[in-house]
């Protein structure tokens, strides 16, 4: 029995060793394959890491480049978070707005460093007098906002130079037309005046001639005043005046113009403030220009209303509305141009002067008209000045 089992065990051991050798070879082969894969992964990881490092270096260079560009930009760049607090800005923003900026609410920064410009809602004035254009936009995919302040002072100066050149050209046209505009009413006044010494002229005719002479002299006065204001190009001396007193003067002057005609004139003052700052004489001329234009358009009959309303603690809106024939849309676009007129005996300076006086006060004038219905001019004037009134009271106390 032992003799037969010994060869079997030997064969089994041989098979076991053979299987073990095969498994060892397979394990060795698998281990070598695993080592090759690990080495390959190491190489791939090194390549990816090298690429990442390269990308980070490029991004750092790009970020540094962007920082240099932002620092060199002449415009101020301010980044706001979702709560409108400053989270980043460039050096120009600090130069424009001063410190502190970081972490501050934009509304507080704007209140302390920016002054609204009435004639251009996109512009602001800095405390040092520079004019800046302000744009605001949202960064894509975020709730953050970017504000850009660009210095437009030089551009405004160039525009001012162009306007001065245009003004000089217009002054040349004005001088050329002055002789005709003054000579005609002056000749008429001289003709009527020459008849006053004629003993054959009765009292009624003398009174009518006197009214005609006074009418022509008033016309000449308006023309000369318009020319003087236009020549000053809006440079007016500002002082304190009473709004109610100004409206009273306009009312008295207009009663003489209306006379016994069929025009119903109403003057309404809804302003709670009365002390203003500006050029009362120029403003009176402006209102008279608009009212007399309306009278001529209405041809002696209709409704004419002047209304003063207070928009806020700084601004007054004066509107002049008539029931005249209205203005053609094609003419409406050009009515404030110097020397543009649709009247045979007009100079085209009246409304240009109105626009100039409004701008000299930091305001603006607009017109709405409908043919067959009437016309309304609105003059917006930031004349109310609490600072001015405070200074007056302090001076009186001293």
Lowest model confidence (mean pLDDT) among 167-176, 201-210, 261-270:
167-176
Domain spanning 73-151: CATH superfamily: PAS domain (3.30.450.20)
- Give the chain's mean pLDDT: 80
How many residues comprise the chain?
398
Peptide bond into 100 cis (omega under 30): yes
> What confidence tens digit (pLDDT) does each residue in 150-189 have?
888 877 778 777 877 776 676 666 665 555 556 667 777 7
- Judged against a pLDDT cut of 60, whether residue 262 lies above it is answered with yes
Within 10 Å of residue 35's Cβ, how many Cβ atoms? 10
Compute the CA torsion angle 337, 322, 365, 230 (nearest 10 deg): 50
Q: What is the CATH number of domain 236-398?
A: 3.30.565.10
pLDDT at 246: 92
Domain boundaries, the chain: 73-151, 154-233, 236-398
**Mean pLDDT (whole number) for 15-30:** 82
**309 or 119, which is more confident?**
309
- Judged against a pLDDT cut of 90, whether residue 75 lies above it is answered with no
- Judged against a pLDDT cut of 90, whether residue 48 lies above it is answered with no
**Mean pLDDT (whole number) for 371-390:** 77
Alpha-carbon gap, residue 213 to 207, rounded angstroms: 10
> Do 154-233 and 236-398 come out as alike in CATH topology?
no
Determine what percent of the chain is predicted with pLDDT higher than 70. 83
Domain 154-233 top-level CATH class: mainly alpha
**Is the pTM of the predicted complex or chain greater than 0.85?**
no
**Mean pLDDT (whole number) for 57-68:** 76
Q: Which residues have CB under 8 Å from 97's CB, separation 6+? A: 76, 78, 109, 113, 114, 126, 149
Alpha-carbon gap, residue 382 to 176, rounded angstroms: 35
pLDDT at 398: 35
pLDDT at 321: 92
Per residue, the 3-state secondary structure of the chain, as one string, reads CHHHHHHHHHHHHHHHHHHHHHHHHHHHHHHHHHHHHHHHHHHHHHHHHHHHHHHHHHHHHHHHHHHHHHHHCCCEEEEECCCCEEEEECHHHHHHHCCCCCCCEHHHHHHHHEEECCCCCCEEEECCCCEEEEEEEECCCCCCEEEEEEECHHHHHHHHHHHHHHHHHHHHHHHHHHHHHHHHHHHHHHHHHHHHCCCCCCHHHHHHHHHHHHHHHHHHHHHHHHHHHHHHCCCCCCEEEEHHHHHHHHHHHHHHHHCCCEEEEEEEECCCCCEEEECHHHHHHHHHHHHHHHHHHHCCEEEEEEEEEECCCCCEEEEEEECCCCCCHHHHCCCCCCCCCCCCCCCCCHHHHHHHHHHHCCCEEEEEEECCCEEEEEEEECCCCHHHHHHHHHHHHC
Instruction: Give the pLDDT band (50/70/90) at residue 23.
Output: confident
Alpha-carbon gap, residue 175 to 259, rounded angstroms: 33
């Amino acid at each position: 029995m032992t003799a037969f089992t010994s060869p079997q065990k030997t064969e089994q051991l041989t098979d076991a060793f053979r299987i073990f050798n095969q498994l060892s070879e397979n394990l060795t082969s698998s281990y070598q394959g695993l080592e090759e894969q690990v080495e390959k992964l190491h190489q791939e990881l090194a390549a990816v890491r090298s690429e990442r490092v390269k990308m980070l270096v490029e991004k750092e260079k790009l970020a540094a480049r962007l920082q240099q560009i932002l620092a060199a930009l002449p415009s101020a760049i301010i980044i706001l978070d979702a709560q409108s607090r400053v989270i980043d800005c460039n050096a120009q923003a600090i130069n424009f707005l001063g410190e502190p900026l970081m972490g501050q609410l934009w509304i507080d920064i704007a209140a302390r460093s920016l002054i609204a410009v009435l004639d251009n809602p996109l512009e602001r004035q800095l405390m040092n007098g520079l004019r800046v254009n302000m744009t605001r936009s949202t960064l894509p995919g975020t709730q953050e906002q970017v504000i850009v302040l660009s210095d437009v002072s030089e551009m405004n100066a160039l525009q001012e130079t162009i306007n001065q050149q245009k003004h000089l050209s217009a002054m040349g046209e004005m001088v050329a037309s002055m002789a005709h505009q003054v000579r005609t009413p002056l000749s008429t006044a001289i003709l009527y005046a020459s008849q006053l010494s004629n003993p054959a002229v009765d009292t009624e005719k003398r009174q009518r001639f006197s009214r005609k002479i006074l009418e022509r002299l008033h016309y000449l006065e308006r023309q000369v005043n318009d020319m003087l204001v236009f020549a000053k190009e809006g440079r007016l001396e500002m002082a304190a005046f009473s709004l109610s007193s100004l409206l009273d003067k306009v009312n008295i002057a207009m009663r003489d113009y209306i006379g016994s005609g069929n025009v119903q004139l109403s003057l309404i003052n809804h302003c709670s403030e009365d002390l203003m700052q500006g050029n009362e004489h120029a403003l009176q001329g402006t209102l008279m220009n608009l009212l007399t234009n309306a009278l001529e358009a209405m041809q002696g009959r209709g409704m004419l209303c002047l209304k003063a309303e207070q928009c806020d603690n700084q601004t007054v809106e004066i509107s002049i509305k008539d029931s005249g024939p209205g203005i053609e849309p094609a003419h409406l676009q050009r009515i404030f141009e110097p020397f543009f007129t649709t009247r045979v005996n007009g100079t085209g300076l009246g409304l240009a002067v109105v626009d100039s006086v409004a701008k000299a006060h930091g305001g603006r004038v607009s017109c709405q008209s409908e043919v067959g219905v009437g016309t309304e001019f609105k003059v917006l004037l930031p004349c109310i000045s609490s600072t001015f009134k405070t200074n007056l009271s302090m001076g009186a106390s001293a």
